[in-house]
């Protein structure tokens, strides 16, 4: 399968402001294809064999990250660094009040001096006993006792020296130093607080060495293998990086039944810090996908699409599914045609549902209109009957009045012969 993809020149970007509308209409299958204009660069794409990957989400952690704790009890005197500060190896980060440790060291040194004096005396007595024994002035037991006293004094001197050395080291614990160069991640104490042995003081990490921790389900371990090929995506930085080395742990979590995999990144990876969200893509096989140059891919928010030149030379916009993989150099859109058909099918389903709803609404409107027409006809018929009744009553009243008025009018004009009026006139 081969298709021509339109490469996107800078002048063509101006017309992409209608991409969101076109993408919505394209999903419904109603976008009219634009005819390709002269000067637009195109490239023929086809299916190629690419690695089939399994993606898993992970988190970044520092290879060297530690919590520095107090090794002596005392009050915090100074806190020399804060969160985000860069610390060199051996620099003092916290100072604890050393007066108590200094007094203990002074006592230990005094004990050393006392033991040295006792040792010197015991040594002199032993040398003197040896000379006297050689001259037969003392017995063998006296010589043995002098020798034993000398050895006891020698041991006491060594013990006092060890005690003084321990006190000296303890005094050195009052200056808490950085075990390696790095950054301060957390500051856990303030000046004036009382700390004991083991109290956390600061948390730091080495930013030059980072690794990614992911959990792989058991059913994917066989496909990944003991020496997997993996690439790491940094979504927040919009870039990819390759793994320096990968370590698959030999045990699984009994609760989740997943195995932890450590992906060591290259040294001094810029912008990467502990706790960062990443995605790891493990190569589990090969597959065929339709690849297009990344310069031909349109990005507008969550919409990703390409313009395809059809057989008639017209441009067609095809929207890419979010599950389609996009590499750093190439964009894979192997399922665009199928996805476009699925989108059109879904749009047609929605359109049919809307048509059925409109038909139901129209049927309801027609029923209401028929009811209103019947009401109007019934109301109009009643009014017509009332009008006819009123007309009949009016005609009857007119007829009755005409009959009464005709008799009185004849007497006024001229009474009938022999009527009552004639008698009244004679008088």
Q: Where are the domains of the chain?
A: 69-204, 206-286
Element (H, E) at 357: helix 336-413
- Residues 143, 131: Cα–Cα separation, whole Å: 10
Q: The pTM is what?
A: 0.55
Structurally, what CATH architecture does the domain formed by 69-204 represent?
Beta Barrel (2.40)
Residue percentage of the chain with pLDDT more than 90: 45
Count of CB atoms situated within 10 Å of the CB of 53: 17
Question: Which residues in 200-224 are b (16+ Cβ under 10 Å) and which e?
Answer: ebbbbbbbebbbbebbbeeeebeeb
- Residues 159, 151: Cα–Cα separation, whole Å: 12
Query: What phi, psi does 246 have (nearest 5°)?
Result: -130, 135
- Residues 243, 265: Cα–Cα separation, whole Å: 5
Write the class of the CATH domain 206-286: mainly beta
Residue percentage of the chain with pLDDT more than 70: 66
Count of CB atoms situated within 10 Å of the CB of 314: 13
- By the 8 A CB rule, do 173 and 128 touch? no
HEC profile of 184-232: EEEECCCCCCEECCCCEEEEEECCCCEEEEEEEEHHHHHHHCCCCCEEE
408 has a pLDDT exceeding 80: no
Residues 338, 340, 346: CA angle, nearest 5 degrees: 105
Query: What pLDDT score does 74 carry?
Result: 93
Of 267, 284, 293, 155, residue with least CA distance to 223: 284
- By the 8 A CB rule, do 219 and 56 touch? no
- By the 8 A CB rule, do 201 and 78 touch? no
Lowest mean pLDDT among 15-29, 80-94, 108-122, 225-239: 15-29
Q: pLDDT (tens digit, 9 = 90+) per residue, 307-354?
A: 888 777 787 887 765 444 444 333 333 334 444 445 455 556 666 666
Query: What phi, psi does 163 have (nearest 5°)?
Result: -65, -40
Query: What pLDDT score does 108 carry?
Result: 92
Count of CB atoms situated within 10 Å of the CB of 72: 19
Q: pLDDT (tens digit, 9 = 90+) per residue, 66-104?
A: 999 999 999 999 999 999 999 999 999 999 999 999 999
- By the 8 A CB rule, do 197 and 170 touch? no
Question: Higher-confidence residue: 78 or 358?
Answer: 78
């Amino acid at each position: 399968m081969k298709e021509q993809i339109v490469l996107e020149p800078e002048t063509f970007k101006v017309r992409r402001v209608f991409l969101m509308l076109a993408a919505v209409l394209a999903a419904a299958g109603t976008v009219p294809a634009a005819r390709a204009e002269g000067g637009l660069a195109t490239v023929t794409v086809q299916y190629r064999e690419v690695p089939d990957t399994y993606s898993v989400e992970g988190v970044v952690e520092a290879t060297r990250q530690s919590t520095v704790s107090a090794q002596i009890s005392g009050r915090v005197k100074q806190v020399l660094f804060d969160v985000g500060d860069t610390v060199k190896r051996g620099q003092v980060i916290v100072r604890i009040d050393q007066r108590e440790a200094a007094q203990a060291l002074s006592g230990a040194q005094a004990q050393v001096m006392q033991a040295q004096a006792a040792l010197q005396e015991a040594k002199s007595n032993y040398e003197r006993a040896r000379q006297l024994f050689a001259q037969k002035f003392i017995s063998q037991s006296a010589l043995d006792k002098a020798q034993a006293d000398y050895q006891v004094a020698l041991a006491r001197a060594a013990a006092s020296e060890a005690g003084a050395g321990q006190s000296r080291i303890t005094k050195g614990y009052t200056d808490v130093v950085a075990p390696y160069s790095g950054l301060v991640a957390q500051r856990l104490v303030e000046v004036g607080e009382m700390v004991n042995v083991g109290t956390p003081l600061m948390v730091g990490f080495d930013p030059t060495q980072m690794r990614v921790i992911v959990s792989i389900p058991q059913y994917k371990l066989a496909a990944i293998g003991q020496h997997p090929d993996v690439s790491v995506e940094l979504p927040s930085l919009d870039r990819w990086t390759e793994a320096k080395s990968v370590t698959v742990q030999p045990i699984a979590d009994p609760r989740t039944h997943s195995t932890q995999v450590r992906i060591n990144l290259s040294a001094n990876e810029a912008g990467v810090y502990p706790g960062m969200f990443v995605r790891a893509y493990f190569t589990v096989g090969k597959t065929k996908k339709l690849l297009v140059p990344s310069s031909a891919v349109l990005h507008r928010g969550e919409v990703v699409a390409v313009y395809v030149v059809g057989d008639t030379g017209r441009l067609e916009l095809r929207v890419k599914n979010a599950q389609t993989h996009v590499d750093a150099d190439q964009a894979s859109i192997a399922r665009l045609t199928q996805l476009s058909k699925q989108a059109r099918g879904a749009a047609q389903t929605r359109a049919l549902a809307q048509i059925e709803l409109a038909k139901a609404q129209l049927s309801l409107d027609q029923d209401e209109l028929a009811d209103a027409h019947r009401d109007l006809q019934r109301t109009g018929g009643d009014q017509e009957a009332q009008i006819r009744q009123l007309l009949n009553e009016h005609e009857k009243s007119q007829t009755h009045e005409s009959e009464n008025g005709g008799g009185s009018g004849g007497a006024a004009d001229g009474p009938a012969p022999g009527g009552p009026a004639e008698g009244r006139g004679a008088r």
